[in-house]
Amino acid sequence: MSRHYAITTPIYYVNAEPHIGHTYTTVVADTLARYHRLAGEETFFLTGTDEHGDKIAEAAARDGLEPKAFTDRISGIFRDTWDEIGISYDRFIRTTDADHIRAVQTLLTRVHDQGDIDFREYEGLYCVGCERFLTDRDMVDGLCRDHERAPERRKESNYFFKMTRYFDWLGETLEAQPDLIRPERYRNEVLAMLREGSGLDDLCISRPKSRLTWGIELPFDADYVCYVWFDALINYLAGMGYPDDPAFEVRWAAAEHLVAKDILKPHGVFWPTMLRAAGLPLYQHLNVHGYWNVDDRKISKSLGNMISPLAMREQYGFDAFRYFLLRDMSFGLDASFTEEALVTRINADLANNLGNLVSRTLNMTARYCDGQVPEPDGAGAEEEHVRDASVEAARAVDEHMRRLEPNRALAAIFALVDATNRYVDARAPWKAAKDEARMGEVRTTLHTCCQALHSIALLLGPFVPDTAEEILARLGCSGALASARLPDTAAAFDAPAPGTSTRKGEALFPRVEAP
């Protein structure tokens, strides 16, 4: 039986267009999906848009549009952007999709029937930006801490999910499964929320239609719509086929969530208790990353520092931007984007290090071996060393990808690039080629370089797919990724076969100037 893997991104609100933050999460998910497909696992990659609630209704009204027309437009921009940059999702879910609405109503009915939802009057301070009532801790000087705007006082009769009755169970589960939420700092944050209360109470899950109609109707009271977070989280089930697609169970049993720290509470507290109440198993892991700041400032529309993925593609090529995002953020910690740092990365790692290895290997293969992968003339300790480095890189990439450390996986691949460049420097085939008697050594060196490049390209496949394909094509191995099985194929170090025709090509990554 093949192994399964399912990865999700948050479904993004359609009140902003895709920026560096959404792009990072989506690119990490795409890289993981590509990696697990290459590892031979049956993989399902889910992304989409979150379209209900006050915040979206407000944004639509500002644009003078009906909510559905507005969400169609922005959701389309997200989907088109992901298509343009080659995000390999399997399902793009919208919370306005009929199957999502049915999944939400099915789950609500189930939780209601078993007595975990009741009706109460509530009064409090509500932030439209957060889509929830605030507690004292959520406010600074009377303003919402996150949105820096004054909350509104609201009094309503509403339905509540009796979340608190599951808190002891959740605490015990987090003790028993220490990496359920990872990295550890975020697990500790959730444990602290449970310990300190952090304003955590039973969850108000309805909005009266008298105030908000833009939402999913409660199946047990037609005067109310569902609170947007309760609705949104269920996308993960709906997108995988809940309630009745036969594929649902295996996908859900392999589910990995990817989110940033801003939405830790709904994913670390609301969601597991909802699943428990609905009698469903938990996700495999909640993988939480930090925040991208731009020029050391928070991203915001008013600062105009959102960084559009399409603009980055236009200027640097998408693989270069993708590489930077994956390499420069230590998964779990915050990172800072500056165009200088991007340019430095492109020049140091892609143009100089990788690009140089590709160009010198293929140029010398053209010059000394008629453009064909040469037959080696034996192999010594130095060749063994490069082969060992390749085996080690493939092993390390597998370990880091399964631990959600894409930056470390890339560092491991570049350790192999470095080792191969050092090997070429030490063997100096351009010098050896001056002596006819040493041509066997030249052939061995270039054969080893072609094999190392082949392994490097396979390992880079999930991270920089177009670049990997291009290197493989130049090595005469077009399409090798389609039949590769990571980590084994990259560790095997047995292709391309001698006699394969190679092609020099242009510089893979031309050096770029700082802006």
Mind telling me the catalytic residues?
19, 22, 127, 130, 144, 147, 298, 301
Member of 6, 7, 13, 455 binding ligand MSP (CB under 6 A): 13
299 sits near ligand MSP (criterion: CB under 6 A): yes
Please give the structure tokens belonging to residue 175.
Answer: 């003790």
| 273: CB partners within 8 A, 6+ apart | 161, 163, 166, 167, 169, 170
292 sits near ligand MSP (criterion: CB under 6 A): yes
Output the smallest distance, CB 445 to ligand MSP, in A. Answer: 43
242 sits near ligand MSP (criterion: CB under 6 A): no
270 sits near ligand MSP (criterion: CB under 6 A): no
Output 25 or 81, the one with its CB closest to ligand MSP: 25
d(CA 375, CA 443): 6
- Nearest Cα residue to 11 out of 313, 300, 302, 267: 267
Question: Can you name the residues that pair with 285 across neighbouring β-strands?
Answer: 256
Member of 4, 18, 24, 489 binding ligand MSP (CB under 6 A): 24
DSSP per-residue codes, 223-282? EEEE-HHHHHHTHHHHTTTTTT-TTHHHHHHTEEEEEEGGGHHIIIIIHHHHHHHTT-PP
Which residue has the CB atom at the shortest distance from ligand MSP? 21
Pairing label, strands 152-161, 203-204: antiparallel
**One-letter amino acid identity for 374?**
P
Q: Which of 10-18, 37-45, 384-392, 420-428 is the region at the interface with ligand MSP (rule: CB under 6 A)?
A: 10-18
Residues touching ligand MSP, count (CB under 6 A): 19
d(CA 173, CA 180): 9
Output the smallest distance, CB 149 to ligand MSP, in A. Answer: 16
Of all helices (H) and strands (E), which one includes residue 428? none
Member of 4, 22, 36, 251 binding ligand MSP (CB under 6 A): 22
Output the smallest distance, CB 103 to ligand MSP, in A. Answer: 13
Question: Can you name the residues that pair with 293 across neighbouring β-strands?
Answer: 336
The distance in angstroms from the start CA to the end CA of the chain is 52
Member of 6, 11, 107, 401 binding ligand MSP (CB under 6 A): 11
Output the smallest distance, CB 469 to ligand MSP, in A. Answer: 27
Q: Where are the alpha helices (DSSP H) in 329-464?
A: 339-345, 356-369, 381-402, 406-427, 429-432, 439-460
259 sits near ligand MSP (criterion: CB under 6 A): yes
167 sits near ligand MSP (criterion: CB under 6 A): no
d(CA 283, CA 41): 17
Member of 125, 191, 200, 260 binding ligand MSP (CB under 6 A): 260
25 sits near ligand MSP (criterion: CB under 6 A): yes
Q: Between 37 and 76, how does the x/- string for binding to ligand MSP read (CB under 6 A)?
A: -------------x--------------------------
Q: Which of residues 84-103 bind ligand MSP (CB under 6 A)?
A: none
d(CA 6, CA 241): 12
State the residues that interact with ligand MSP by CB under 6 A.
Answer: 10-13, 21-22, 24-25, 50, 232-233, 235, 259-260, 262-263, 291-292, 299
